[in-house]
């Protein structure tokens, strides 16, 4: 007789472990148990640097009848799955530098101090880490921090004397300690699926450190090949629908592995030649910004789908992203940050808008993937809360009021999206963060400068 399936069952073999997505065959038999055994709620915070073009972002209309503006066009088909939030801000960022202190404040609302880099003080712990402290013990990874840009160093003396490292991290364990983000896809992937991957995030370490060396020399056999026997055994114990779901899941993992292979080739060569003392960003980082973005987004989705973590942050770029977007039609090879200061020159503003819209399109990609992943009659998106936005409104003028924010997902029934939600003018964004944290089960009375939970979300 087959043993009953556990919700936390994993496919194992040869140093790999794949947490399974939601399976109906693992549902408890008793009605009382079923009411307690539901898909978990997840939350992610996705940061886009350099603001937006307000006139191309902010729509006409109220409630569910607002018009989709050009910068929101990639989300038009998902209008019923998100809130367009307005009039939220962080008062403590007013009059500060246009970029660096606004990033750590985005998820904490704290007053960020100037300094020399050795005395960091952001004035608060970010909400993702507050949530991770409360519920992180329930998953293999308490939280997951992903990004694309390596951390910056030095002091921006022209910009008010702020350490640039402030703009490289949105997750802060406490006011003085940033949580390193992983920017190398293979290492992020290994954290999810390799049983021997209880190693620290290595993005901030010296490339020839022992932690990096061990992680790069890890057995490079396919994760799926390692767990194949366990997978075959499981397929004979589940329903037809679950077999289809397992096949879909395994193919998603295989797809990411195939795309990672191109970045692993130079990594293997450098290891074999003993050339681990290469400068950052080091091996394994895709040359294509588009592919880098999509790989990391797919890893984020896999992390939620497998319940490897329930809390994540994703930085699409640092505070003054200098990424070139010349791969976009009509965009010249200039930095994103440089184009954000368009001074209302039409041709420059249009390029800046195209870059911002491209970032919205990546967010839409995440929502589409999550909406199509079934969790027993609901979707992964229905059981998640994904906040997307920037730490300033008008990238040209560094305005702090009315931050551009989109909150997607249903929070397992705790949110009723599909509307434009206008809060009272200058409502603390911390009220939104408090609302998200409490829907994750934190039971907080306040957070930052919140004035109660944000009304109108449910």
pLDDT > 90? residue 253: no
Contacts of residue 144, Cβ cutoff 8 Å, sequence gap at least 6: 188, 191, 300, 303, 308, 309, 311, 312, 313
Residue 3 covered by a domain:
no
Count structural domains, the chain: 2
Query: How many whole angstroms separate alpha carbon 448 and alpha carbon 345?
Result: 38
Give just the sign of the alpha carbon dihedral 230, 232, 234, 237: negative
Residue 335 covered by a domain:
yes
Residue 126 pLDDT = 98
**Residue 165 corresponds to which tokens in the numbers above?**
């490292």
Residue 13 pLDDT = 63
Residue 227 covered by a domain:
yes
Q: Percentage of the chain surpassing pLDDT 90?
A: 61
Q: Are residues 158 and 71 in the same domain?
A: yes
Residue 396 covered by a domain:
yes
pLDDT tens digits, 137-163: 999 899 999 999 999 989 988 778 899
Q: Are residues 279 and 294 in the same domain?
A: no
Quote the radius of gyration of the chain (alpha carbons, Å).
22
Residue 252 covered by a domain:
yes
Q: Are residues 219 and 146 in the same domain?
A: no
Q: Among 252, 284, 316, where does a domain finish?
A: 284
Residue 96 pLDDT = 83
Q: What is the mean predicted confidence (pLDDT) over 189-210?
A: 51
Q: Are residues 312 and 455 in the same domain?
A: yes
Q: Are residues 120 and 256 in the same domain?
A: no
**pLDDT averaged over every residue in the chain:** 84
Residue 145 covered by a domain:
yes
Q: Are residues 341 and 429 in the same domain?
A: yes
Q: DSSP assignment of 378-447, as one string?
A: SBTTTTEEEEEE-S-SBTTTT--SS--EEEES-GGGT---SEEEEEEEEEEHHHHHHHHHHHTT---S--
Is-contact 408 81, C-beta < 8 A? yes
Residue 224 pLDDT = 64
Q: What is the mean predicted confidence (pLDDT) over 273-283?
A: 32
Is-contact 419 61, C-beta < 8 A? no
**If DSSP codes are grouped into helix, strand and coil, which group holds residue 343?**
coil
Query: How many whole angstroms separate alpha carbon 50 and alpha carbon 321?
Result: 8
Q: What is the mean predicted confidence (pLDDT) over 5-24?
A: 64
Contacts of residue 123, Cβ cutoff 8 Å, sequence gap at least 6: 92, 105, 108, 109, 110, 111, 112, 113, 175
- In this structure, what DSSP letter does residue 318 have? -
Q: Which residues of 20-55 are buried (b: 16+ CB within 10 A; e: fewer)?
A: bbbbebbeeeeeeeeeeeebbbbbbbbbbbbbbbbe
Residue 36 covered by a domain:
no
Helix/strand/coil percent split, the chain, to 5: 40, 15, 45
| Confidence tier at 36 by pLDDT (50, 70, 90) | very low
Other C-beta atoms closer than 10 Å to the C-beta of 251 total 10
Question: Which pairing describes strands 384-389 and 42-47: parallel, antiparallel, or unpaired?
Answer: parallel
Query: How many whole angstroms separate alpha carbon 148 and alpha carbon 127?
Result: 21
Structural domain harbouring 152 = 43-183+289-458
Q: What is the CATH number of the domain that holds 321?
A: 3.40.720.10
Q: Are residues 61 and 110 in the same domain?
A: yes
- In this structure, what DSSP letter does residue 335 have? B
pLDDT > 90? residue 239: no
pLDDT > 80? residue 8: no
pLDDT > 50? residue 393: yes
- In this structure, what DSSP letter does residue 206 have? -
Residue 16 covered by a domain:
no
Question: Which pairing describes strands 144-147 and 155-156: parallel, antiparallel, or unpaired?
Answer: unpaired
Q: Are residues 331 and 264 in the same domain?
A: no
Q: Among 268, 284, 300, where does a domain finish?
A: 284
Q: Among 250, 284, 318, where does a domain finish?
A: 284
Is-contact 377 35, C-beta < 8 A? no
Q: Are residues 171 and 313 in the same domain?
A: yes
Centroid of chain to Cα 215: 23
Q: Are residues 130 and 193 in the same domain?
A: no
Q: Are residues 235 and 353 in the same domain?
A: no
Q: Are residues 376 and 413 in the same domain?
A: yes
């Amino acid at each position: 007789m087959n043993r009953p399936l556990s919700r936390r069952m994993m496919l194992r073999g040869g140093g790999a472990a794949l947490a399974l997505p939601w399976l109906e065959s693992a549902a408890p038999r008793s009605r009382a148990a079923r009411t307690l055994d539901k898909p978990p709620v997840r939350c992610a915070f996705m940061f886009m640097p350099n603001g937006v073009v307000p006139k191309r972002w902010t729509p006409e209309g109220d409630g569910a009848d607002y018009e989709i503006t050009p910068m929101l066009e990639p989300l038009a088909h998902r209008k019923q799955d998100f809130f367009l939030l307005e009039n939220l801000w962080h008062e403590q960022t007013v009059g500060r530098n246009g970029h660096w202190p606004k990033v750590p404040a985005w998820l904490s609302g704290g007053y960020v101090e100037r300094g020399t880099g050795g005395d960091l003080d952001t004035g608060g712990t970010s909400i993702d880490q507050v949530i991770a402290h409360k519920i992180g013990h329930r998953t293999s990874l308490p939280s997951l921090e992903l990004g694309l840009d390596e951390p910056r160093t030095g002091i921006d003396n022209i910009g008010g004397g702020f350490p640039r490292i402030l703009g490289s991290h949105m997750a802060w364990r406490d006011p003085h300690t940033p949580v390193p983000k992983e920017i190398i896809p293979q290492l992020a992937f290994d954290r999810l699926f390799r049983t021997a991957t209880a190693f620290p995030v290595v993005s901030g370490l010296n490339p020839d450190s022992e932690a990096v060396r061990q992680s790069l020399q890890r057995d490079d056999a396919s994760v799926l090949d390692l767990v194949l026997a366990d997978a075959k055994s499981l397929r004979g114990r589940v329903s037809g629908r679950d077999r289809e779901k397992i096949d879909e899941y395994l193919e998603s993992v295989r797809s990411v592995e195939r795309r990672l292979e191109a970045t692993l080739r130079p990594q293997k060569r450098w290891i074999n030649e003993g050339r681990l003392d290469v400068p950052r960003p080091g091996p394994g980082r895709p040359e294509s910004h588009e592919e880098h973005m999509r790989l990391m987004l797919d890893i984020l989705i896999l992390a939620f789908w497998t319940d490897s973590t329930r809390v994540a942050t994703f930085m699409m770029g640092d505070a003054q992203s200098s990424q070139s977007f010349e791969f976009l039609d009509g965009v010249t090879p200039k930095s994103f940050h440089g184009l954000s200061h368009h001074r209302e020159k039409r041709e420059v503003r249009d390029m800046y808008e195209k870059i911002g819209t491209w970032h919205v399109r990546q967010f839409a990609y995440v929502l589409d993937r999550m909406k199509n992943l079934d969790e027993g009659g609901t979707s992964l998106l229905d059981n998640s809360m994904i906040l997307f936005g920037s730490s300033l409104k008008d990238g040209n003028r560094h305005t702090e009021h009315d931050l551009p924010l989109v909150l997607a997902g249903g929070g397992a029934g705790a949110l009723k999206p599909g509307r434009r939600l206008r809060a009272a003018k200058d409502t603390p964004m911390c009220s939104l963060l408090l609302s998200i944290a409490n829907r994750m089960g934190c039971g907080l009375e306040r957070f930052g400068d919140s004035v109660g939970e944000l009304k109108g979300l449910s």
